[in-house]
Chains A and B, each alone.
Chain A
Amino acid sequence: MSDETLFTYPEGWNEMLAALDFLPEGQREGFLKGLVGILLL
């Protein structure tokens, strides 16, 4: 998937989750939601 389609949903979202492979699978969604949430600030 290219950068142009990263910000699509759910495909790009899932791609980003897969890229967080330094985290256990069960923690990735919470981490990404946390990151997006903090980026509101």
Chain B
Amino acid sequence: MADSQRLYQERVQLYKDAARHRKTNRVVILANIWTWMTYDMGYKLSETLFDSKKMGQVVTKFQEKYQFDFFMDFGGRNPLAISGALGHTDYIINDETANLNINDFSYVEPEDYAEISENYTKFLWTKFLPRKYQKLNEAGAKQKMLNAGAEFGKFVQHSTEIAQTMASDYGVPPAIFLGTPAFWNFFEILFNWLRGIKGLSLDLRQRPEALKSALDGVGVTDFFGMTLKEYRQSSQKGTDPSKGPDVSTYLLGHSILSKKQFEVFYWPYLKELFDYAEEYDKILHIFAESENSRFYDFFKEAPKDHVVIHLELDDMFKAKKEIGDKVCLCGGMPIDLLYNGTVQANIDYAKHLIDELAADGGFIFSQNKMVSYATDCKAENLKAVNDFIREYTI
């Protein structure tokens, strides 16, 4: 068996053993590395975000240097060439700081909720696209959509090629973002891409019934309009032996919710994912941004050994005590330390995390926050930590 094939199988097994709270001889290392990868490899964001082929070179060079077991992202998070074909320029790119920002927005008006609830595809086609992409209101809209479609085709092809190369040459299983089916509480899609922080915060107070009706109407869905209910119908029982997690979800919008609001606007949809994982014996990977401890009562309802939760800003040692027997924890390595600390301080902290959190299984090592900007991490610290963990026997 080729080394890369052996590594691939070992990595999948390590992930699954961690998720199932089985003791392993070493900890799996997940790269929560996003646009920083481009910066570290000496490219500019303005090059790679518009060129998925160049992004592939970044990802493979990055893996040669750091040898991660898993990646959150193979560079597919911001495929700007597709939106660029429609003249969208809302992203603000700073090549010096490796900074990518976007201003708050709202492509949903309060009166749209009824239509969203009734026919989400119709809403996206008739309202969202012409609002976000203003050039579609000019002559030549169909040709612009065909151009965007051509870029989308290239993006899919290049993303597939990156994933195949990472598997065949480096033994890295599919990335979690875009490489693993992702199902979202529609609240997240509203928060991140349709209604924005300000609009959604107002809706929670001024029109909660309309908002709730839209969440129920669209349901737990992927980006492409497939609901979890539909996905269940084609699911086979048992975890996929070729992947780490079977499905994924992302929590960020929950950061504006109180515990009481979470119970209404979030919990029923998260529970749907928990129920799916339990009923079909799947592994669900959650990336929960912000600080999550006020929601631990809900996380405790996770089916044991079926859920991995990557906690961004939580006290991991407290989380281990409170929810660690139910879910596998992920994350822990502070990016503040990765940028500001010495090599030795970083290795010491990584060892402390593993000793405290992984002794009885149930821990996946990763950076706590999304490593994005130039000042999020120092290369020598990241390399030293990864080299240490690969050799550190639990």
Q: DSSP majority for the B interface? A: helix
Instruction: Decide if B83 touches A39 in the complex (CB within 8 Å).
Output: yes
A34 touches B86 (CB 8 A): no
* B341 in contact (CB, < 8 A): no
Which of chain B's residues have a CB closer than 8 A to the CB of A6? 136, 141-142, 145
Q: Of A15, A37, A39, A41, which contacts B77 at CB under 8 A?
A: A41
Which residues of B in the span 108-149 have a Cβ within 8 Å of any Cβ on A? Answer: 119, 121-122, 124-126, 128-130, 132-133, 136, 138-142, 145-146, 148-149
Give the one of A9, A13, A39 with max B CB within 10 A. A39
Q: Report the minimal beta-carbon distance from A17 to chain B, rounded to whole angstroms.
A: 11
- 1/0 per residue, CB under 8 A from A, across B148-184: the answer is 1100100110000000000000000000000000000
Indicate whether A19 sits within 8 Å of B142 (C-beta atoms), given known contacts A35-B148, A37-B223, A39-B148.
yes
Of A10, A16, A34, chain B has the most CB atoms within 10 Å of the CB of A34
Question: Size range of the interface on B?
Answer: 35 or more
**B142 neighbours in A (Cβ, 8 Å):** 3, 6, 15-16, 19
Are B149 and A35 neighbours in the complex by a CB distance under 8 Å? yes
Interface residues on A, range: 20 to 34
- Residues of B near A33 (CB, < 8 A) are 121, 224-225
> Which of B348-372 touch A at CB < 8 Å?
none
> Known contacts being A9-B125, A39-B132, is A31 close to B149, with CB within 8 Å?
yes
B82 contacts chain A at the CB level, 8 A cutoff: yes
B136 touches A7 (CB 8 A): yes
Give the Cβ gap from A33 to chain B, nearest Cβ, in Å: 5
Q: How far, in whole Å, are A9 and B15 apart by their CA atoms in the complex?
A: 44
- Say yes or no: A16 contacts B145, CB within 8 Å: yes
**B46 interface contact, C-beta 8 A:** no
Q: Are A7 and B129 in contact (CB under 8 A)?
A: yes
A39 contact from B133, B139, B141, B225, Cβ within 8 A: B133
B314 within 8 A of A: no
Instruction: Tell whether A7 pairs with B126 under 8 Å between CB atoms, given A16-B145, A38-B223.
Output: yes
Does B37 sit at the interface, judged by CB under 8 A?
no
Which residues of the other chain, B, contact A36 by a CB distance below 8 angstroms? 121, 124-125, 128-129, 224-225
- Is the Cβ of B224 less than 8 Å from the Cβ of A39? no
Contact residues in A for B121 (Cβ distance below 8 Å): 9, 13, 33, 36
Known A3-B142, A38-B155, A40-B194; 16 more pairs at CB < 8 Å: A3-B138, A7-B129, A7-B136, A8-B126, A13-B122, A15-B142, A19-B145, A33-B121, A33-B224, A35-B152, A36-B125, A36-B225, A37-B222, A40-B189, A41-B193, A41-B223
Residues of A within 8 A of B (CB): 3, 6-10, 12-13, 15-16, 19-20, 30-41
**Which 7 A-B residue pairings sit nearest by Cβ, starting from the closest?**
A37-B223, A37-B224, A9-B122, A3-B141, A40-B193, A35-B152, A33-B225
- Give me 8 A-to-B residue pairs in the complex whose CB atoms sit less than 8 angstroms apart, sorted by A's number: A3-B139, A13-B121, A30-B224, A34-B156, A34-B224, A35-B148, A37-B225, A39-B82
